[in-house]
Every structure is written in structure tokens, then in C-alpha cells.
A and B are shown apart, each in its own frame.
Chain A
Amino acid sequence: MITFGILSQIAALFFTLLSMGLLLSGLGRNNVRLVQAGKRGLLSAMAATTLASIALLSLFLTDSFQVEYVASYSDRALPLFYKITAFWAGQKGSLLFWAWVLSLFIGMVIFNNRKEPDNRNTPYVYLVLAGTLSFFLFLLCAVSNPFDTLNFLPRDGQGLNPMLQNPGMIFHPPILFFGYIGFTVPYAYAIAAMITGNTGVDWIRKTRVWNVLSWIFLSIGIILGGQWAYVELGWGGYWAWDPVENASFIPWLVSTAFIHTAIIQERRGIMKVWNMVLIQLTFLLCIFGTYLVRSGILQSVHDFGATGLGGYFIIFMVIATIGGIYLLAESYNEFKTPGSVESYLSRESTFLFNNVILLALAFATLLGTVFPIISEAVTGNKLTVGQPFFNQVNTPLFLMLVLLTGICPLIGWRKASVSNLRRNFLRPAITALLAGIIMAAFGIRELYPLLAFTLSAFVGATIIQEYITAIRSRKKLSGESSALAGLKLLWKMRRRYGGHIVHFGLAMMVVGIAASSAYKLESQGTLRQGESLSIGDFVLKYESFRQYEKYNRTIYAATLGVFRDGTRIDEMEAERRYYVNAKQPTTEVAIRSTLVEDLYVTMPGIGKGNEITLKVAVNPLLIWIWFGSGLMVLGGILAIIPSRRKKS
């Protein structure tokens, strides 16, 4: 299988380069047959990459430890499930996974376009896609080959990092990669549009589903990453502004800005140049994200394996950047639009402000992330900026973004009159004010949390008001019942209401983030059996201790009774695990989640006579973050459900 895997990778690279040659000669000779052959070349590359991936998977499943990558990330005792996920646990496998998924996405693009005749635009789309694929295949063949063998046969592998043996890790990396890779498709269409001078909205329409779907994948990937950090790392939080977290968050911010301005281009035919800039930036940041995760340039909890790939990624990004700038400069006059935003009081202008804030957030996060590299280049010392920097800079920007999220649904396109605004804003503003007063009455005095709750209430109120007004107006026109009108509106205007659901989810997340960050309670103590530790309204009683074996680990578990007001309301089990082949034991977090708060328990130490050390936290409203993010994803999905085309 090793030889088969290596040869398959080489074949994939060969077919990709062959396809590029065929596409170029098809364009040069104006021959559709060569373009068709080029597309088939890409499908062959997809088949070869799939074979290489199957080869690597089978090496993991058959414990082929003569392969260095398999020996580094698997062992005999590793459960089957994690042997599969070990595929993308390290740098080499991740690169093969990138190439495989990209080749599959290219196959999907070819399949989607199967009924359309090839014009001068499509070969360029495939050329950009093939160029990106060939870069990753080149890395696999020449620099970072997952099929490299050891010159001895180890009896067992080193095993998978225990932190990665978590269900969240099964889906988090591949879904994040789907997001990163998905943005290659709109990028390819944008580049093709610039080369051929197709200034219309076609490329945006054709890639809308790819844009939103990639954004959804990126969102799910980020959320799963946060949840993994929360349940696995045991420090009680979900987001630490870690470089790799930021690497996925920055393209998410820019792609969010792009999704908003793409709507303006679709509706108004303006901002064409800006959209070209944003999609290129999103793509480059996705590549940068992959580079950051896998180059080892910055230290991070995600730095599971690092080799010298950095130079290749930098060359690729420089070529893409210079090429993009050149094409944009060349086609600037064609893309420049005479139209403009007519009024500051219009939805377009709120979208523009939101763009400014999203990009400011992206820039601040990027600056904080790469600051160690900059400081090392300038001063020779690697200086890092911590959470306080990101929180201080980003929190006010986020709050402004939340405010705009609330304002946007209440303003019409093109022009809104002051009297309408006054009328529309009255109720949401009163709701927000009341929410603020109630929060203040309950003792919330810190500025940022108070603003976060108030603005979230404002967003929620504007969306609900907008929906109710639309239902009323539909009822008036159609005579339908409120429920039917509401459902029909949701379905018929799913792009609009999908967006509103995303915004509602964001408001819920903001509430969860503000509450769990500002009002977190923490406690710590060492207990003997029968002793208790209290935190907030809860008392945790150490009731029993047991030790057992499961799969590839020995588990030490402490059972804790949870008491509130003297009544035993629940039971929790905090664990300490010793994995086969792992040097350090790991803690397994016990979490009791309700709508109001999370009780979060870790057991960092076990002493003589099964004496345990507990770290306990109460995170208020934390579950709202997961619910809110779930709503955001659902809203995104609703917005891209295609409408049935009417037969003309």
C-alpha cells in the first residue's frame, strides 16, 4: 500500500499538471475538446487523490508502523474510530486531506456545470482550481510525504495525542478544512471573471451556495473547536485567542463581510471591486490559516507537528497576492461602477459600516496573532500579546457590530426616512432600555456586559418586530392565518429570514459570552472522601472513587454528589486518564449544563488515599453560546436552500 499511495499522489500531481496544460492549450487553440480533456484530467486527479487517501487510511487500519506518519499518530490499542481520524491528526495527513477534499470539490464544480457549454470563462476557473490543487500535491510529493517510511519497524506506534481522542476532534478539523477549501471555488470564479472581464453578477450568483456553505463549515468548525477546548482542555473556557483559533476566525470575519457586500452587488450592481478584494482576502487568509496551523511558525496548543513548509506557503501566497493585485489593477476600469450608496440612512450603508468593523476586527486579530513574528523580526525577541489585548481591542468593536446587526433589519434599501426610523426603532429601543434597567437592577454594573445584554435585547427585539410586521402585512394581502403567513414568509423569503435567524443566534451567543466571561465563579480544593466543596449555590460532595480500564486507557474516576439548598440534585464524575503510550495523564472534565449555568469540574490531581484536588467553576448562561451558534448554522442553511426554478 505504501508504494501504491506514493504512486497515486504522483499520478494525481501528473493529472493536475496535464489538465492545466490541456486547459491552456484549449484556450490558446480555441478548442473545446482540449478543455473537456482538461476537465477529465481534473476528475482523474480526483480519482488518484482518493486512491492515495484510501491507501493512507488502510495503512492506519492495518497498523503499518513502518510508515513514519502512522507510527507517529497511531498505536495498536487506539480505537478504530480514532485510527480513522488520525488521518488528519498531523501535518502530512492534513495536507493530503486538503488535496483530497479540494479534488472532490473540483469534481462537484465540474458536475454542477455539466449542462453548461464551455465558454472562455470556465477554463480559467478550472485553471485556478488546478493551480491550487497542484500546490498541495507538490507539497505531498516533494516536501511532506505521508507515506515516508522509517528505516526500522517499530513494535508499536507512539499513539494519538490523548487531547485529540475526543469526539469533537473527529469533526472539528475536517469541517474547518471544508470551510477553508470551499472558498477556493468562489476565488477561482472571481479570478476568472477578472481575466475575462465578465463584470456582471454571474460569478457571485454561481458561487453563492459555495460562499455561504463554506462560511457555515467554517462556523461549525470554529464552534466545534471551542467546544473541544471547553470539554477537553480543562481550563474552563472555550476561546483563548490561540493563534490557530485566530487563524480560522480571521477568514470567518472577512468572509462574513464578503457575504454581506455580495448581497449589495446582487441587489444594486455596485461594490464589484470591493467584492473582488474581499474574496481574494478570504482565500489568502484560508491558505494563511492552513500555513499557520501546519508550519509551526507560532507556538500553539494545536502545534502537533511542525516542519519547514513555511517557505512554500509564503511563495504560494505571494504569487496569489501579486497575481490578484495585478488582475484587479488591469480590470479596475471595467469593474468600477458608477452607482453609489444614495443615503447614509439605508441598508447598504449599514452593510458598509459592518464591513468596516468586521475588517477592523480581522486586522486587529491578525496583528495580535502575527505580533510574535513581527517582534522577533524587529527586536530579535518573540513577544506575544495575550488575551487582554484581544479582549480590549475586539470587545468594543464586537459591540458595535451587534448594534449594527440590530439596526440593519429596520432600515430599508436605498433610502429610509427619519420618521420611519423613529417609528421602527421605538419599540426595540424601549425593549433594550428596559433590559438594561432590569440587568442593572439585578446588580450588573460593568459596562461591557451591560452593553452586551442591552444590545442583544435590541437585536432580538428588532428581528421579532420585523417578522411580526411582515406577517401582518402578508395577512392583510392574503388573508392567511398568522401561523401560516409566518411559515410562508419564512419559506418564501428564506434568504432574508435565514439571515435574521443567523443574527438572532449571534445575539444569543453574545449573551452567553458576556455572562460566562464576566460572572464566572471559580473555586479549588483538596478533598478526602465524604468532604465537600462549595461554589455559588452548589455544594459538591466527594462520595466515591473507582479505577477501571477502557479501550487504551486506565481511568480514575471520582463520583461527586451535587447539592443545592441541602438537596442532592445530581451526580457528576470527574476523571483522570492514563493513556497507553502517553507521557502525561489527562483530565476529563465533568460538566452539568442547564439553561442557567454550567457546573464545570476538573480533577487535576489524585493524592494518597484517593484524596482528590478539584477545580470547579460555574459558567452562567454558557449553553446559550452553543444554542446561539446552532441557530446561526441553521439560519445559514435556510438561506441557501435553493428555490425551485419556474419553467418559463
Chain B
Amino acid sequence: MEIAIFLIISAVLMAYTLLPAFRPAEPLLLDVNALQRRRNALQQEKTHNLKAIKDIDFDLATDKISTEDHEELRTLLSLKIADAIEAEKRLQEEEKV
């Protein structure tokens, strides 16, 4: 009896497992290409720096950094974001070409 129940359950699980393998093949979502990778990296760069600006704003509000340091860091981070946006634009133009 135990073996019979086990065999039924195993058969059901086997069918459940292998069912997708009998469907028509489809490719995996391929790894992003070099261009896409670059775009993702720029996107991450922007996100990081935006978050960093939020952090230093909070740090200024809670008096953890001086106004001068805040201004210097904010300018630096803003420039980095601007660079990333510029690079993204260049990338888009390259793609169009």
C-alpha cells in the first residue's frame, strides 16, 4: 500500500516536473549585451549618486557635515550625475547610428 501511494505521488511529481520540457523550446532571456551593460552601469551610477545626495542632505540636516563640505560634495555628486546623463545621451546616439 505504502509503495503504491508512493508510486502514484512520484508519477504525478514526475509528470509535473517534465511537462514544460515537452513544450516548444524558447530561448532564455539572454544576458544583456555590452551596450545594455553600459547603460545599466550608467543608470546605477545615477541612482547611487542621487542616493548619495539624499544621504548628505540628511547628514547636513542632522548636523553631521558642515555646510561647506555639503556644498562641495553635492557639487561633486551632481557633476557625476550630469556626466552619467551625458554618457547616456551619447550611448543613445551611438545606438541610433
Residues A423 and B20 in contact in the complex (CB < 8 Å), given A30-B28, A269-B48, A413-B56: no
**Contact residues in A for B61 (Cβ distance below 8 Å):** 470, 473, 477
Identity of the chain B residue whose Cβ is nearest the Cβ of A42 in the assembled complex: B17
Q: What string of 1s and 0s marks CB contacts (under 8 Å) between A28-43 and chain B?
A: 0111111111001101
Tell me, yes or no, whether B51 is within 8 Å of chain A by CB. yes
Q: What string of 1s and 0s marks CB contacts (under 8 Å) between B22-54 and chain A?
A: 011111111100000000110011001001100
> How many angstroms from the CA of A168 to the CA of B14 in the assembled complex?
40
**Contact residues in A for B52 (Cβ distance below 8 Å):** 267-268, 413-414
> How many angstroms from the CA of A121 to the CA of B9 in the assembled complex?
31
Q: What string of 1s and 0s marks CB contacts (under 8 Å) between B49-68 and chain A?
A: 00110011011011111101
Identity of the chain B residue whose Cβ is nearest the Cβ of A199 in the assembled complex: B41
> How many angstroms from the CA of A419 to the CA of B48 in the assembled complex?
27
CB pair A417 B28 closer than 8 Å: no
CB pair B63 A33 closer than 8 Å: no
CB pair B29 A117 closer than 8 Å: yes
> How many angstroms from the CA of A107 to the CA of B63 in the assembled complex?
46
Residues A416 and B64 in contact in the complex (CB < 8 Å), given A15-B13, A34-B21, A118-B29: yes
**Contact residues in B for A410 (Cβ distance below 8 Å):** 64
> How many angstroms from the CA of A40 to the CA of B25 in the assembled complex?
16
Q: Among the listed A11, A40, A412, A477, which residue makes an inter-chain contact with B19, where contact means beta carbons less than 8 Å apart?
A: A40
Question: Would you call the interface of chain A mostly helix, strand, loop, or mixed?
Answer: helix
Q: Among the listed B2, B10, B41, B48, which residue makes an inter-chain contact with A3, where contact means beta carbons less than 8 Å apart?
A: B2
Interchain pairs with CB closer than 8 A, number:
140
Chain A nearest Cβ from B6, distance in angstroms? 5
9-residue interface stretch from A44-52, A212-220, A353-361, A379-387 = A44-52
Residues A40 and B20 in contact in the complex (CB < 8 Å), given A47-B13, A48-B13, A415-B69: yes
Q: Among the listed A7, A19, A22, A423, which residue makes an inter-chain contact with B3, where contact means beta carbons less than 8 Å apart?
A: A7
**Contact residues in A for B29 (Cβ distance below 8 Å):** 32, 117-120
Tell me, yes or no, whether A518 is within 8 Å of chain B by CB. no
Tell me, yes or no, whether B5 is within 8 Å of chain A by CB. yes
Tell me, yes or no, whether A481 is within 8 Å of chain B by CB. no
CB pair A4 B5 closer than 8 Å: yes
> How many angstroms from the CA of A414 to the CA of B51 in the assembled complex?
12
Tell me, yes or no, whether A319 is within 8 Å of chain B by CB. no
Q: How many chain A residues touch the partner (CB < 8 A)?
A: 57
CB pair B66 A470 closer than 8 Å: no
CB pair A120 B28 closer than 8 Å: yes
Tell me, yes or no, whether A113 is within 8 Å of chain B by CB. no
Tell me, yes or no, whether A364 is within 8 Å of chain B by CB. no
Chain B nearest Cβ from A325, distance in angstroms? 24
Residues A119 and B48 in contact in the complex (CB < 8 Å), given A15-B13, A37-B21, A40-B19: no
CB pair B24 A119 closer than 8 Å: no
> How many angstroms from the CA of A29 to the CA of B26 in the assembled complex?
10
Chain A nearest Cβ from B25, distance in angstroms? 5
**Contact residues in B for A27 (Cβ distance below 8 Å):** 28
Identity of the chain A residue whose Cβ is nearest the Cβ of B23 in the assembled complex: A33
CB pair B66 A419 closer than 8 Å: yes
CB pair A40 B17 closer than 8 Å: yes
Residues A30 and B40 in contact in the complex (CB < 8 Å), given A416-B65, A420-B63: no
**Contact residues in B for A120 (Cβ distance below 8 Å):** 28-31
> How many angstroms from the CA of A29 to the CA of B62 in the assembled complex?
55
> How many angstroms from the CA of A51 to the CA of B7 in the assembled complex?
13
**Contact residues in A for B13 (Cβ distance below 8 Å):** 11, 15, 44, 47-48
Tell me, yes or no, whether A424 is within 8 Å of chain B by CB. yes
Tell me, yes or no, whether B18 is within 8 Å of chain A by CB. yes
> How many angstroms from the CA of A410 to the CA of B63 in the assembled complex?
9
Tell me, yes or no, whether B73 is within 8 Å of chain A by CB. yes
Chain A nearest Cβ from B27, distance in angstroms? 5
Identity of the chain B residue whose Cβ is nearest the Cβ of A120 in the assembled complex: B31
CB pair B16 A420 closer than 8 Å: no
> How many angstroms from the CA of A410 to the CA of B59 in the assembled complex?
9
Residues A30 and B31 in contact in the complex (CB < 8 Å), given A40-B16, A412-B65, A417-B65: no
Residues A37 and B73 in contact in the complex (CB < 8 Å), given A8-B6, A267-B55, A470-B62: no
Residues A200 and B63 in contact in the complex (CB < 8 Å), given A4-B6, A51-B9: no
**Contact residues in A for B21 (Cβ distance below 8 Å):** 22, 33-34, 37
Ordered by A's residue number, 30 sampled pairs between the chains whose C-beta atoms are within 8 Å are A3-B2, A4-B5, A15-B13, A22-B17, A22-B21, A30-B28, A31-B25, A32-B29, A33-B20, A36-B20, A44-B13, A44-B14, A44-B16, A119-B28, A120-B31, A123-B28, A267-B51, A267-B55, A268-B52, A269-B48, A412-B65, A414-B52, A414-B56, A416-B69, A417-B65, A417-B68, A420-B63, A420-B69, A423-B63, A477-B61
**A residues neighboring B (CB under 8 Å):** 1, 3-4, 7-8, 11, 15, 18-19, 22, 26-27, 29-37, 40-41, 43-44, 47-48, 51, 117-121, 123, 196, 200-201, 267-269, 410-417, 419-420, 423-424, 466, 469-470, 473, 477
**B residues neighboring A (CB under 8 Å):** 2-3, 5-6, 9-10, 13-14, 16-21, 23-31, 40-41, 44-45, 48, 51-52, 55-56, 58-59, 61-66, 68-69, 73
20 further A-B pairs in the complex, CB-CB below 8 A; given A31-B26, A33-B23, A469-B62: A4-B3, A4-B6, A15-B17, A22-B21, A29-B25, A33-B26, A37-B19, A40-B18, A47-B13, A48-B13, A119-B28, A200-B40, A201-B44, A268-B52, A410-B64, A414-B52, A419-B66, A424-B63, A469-B63, A477-B61
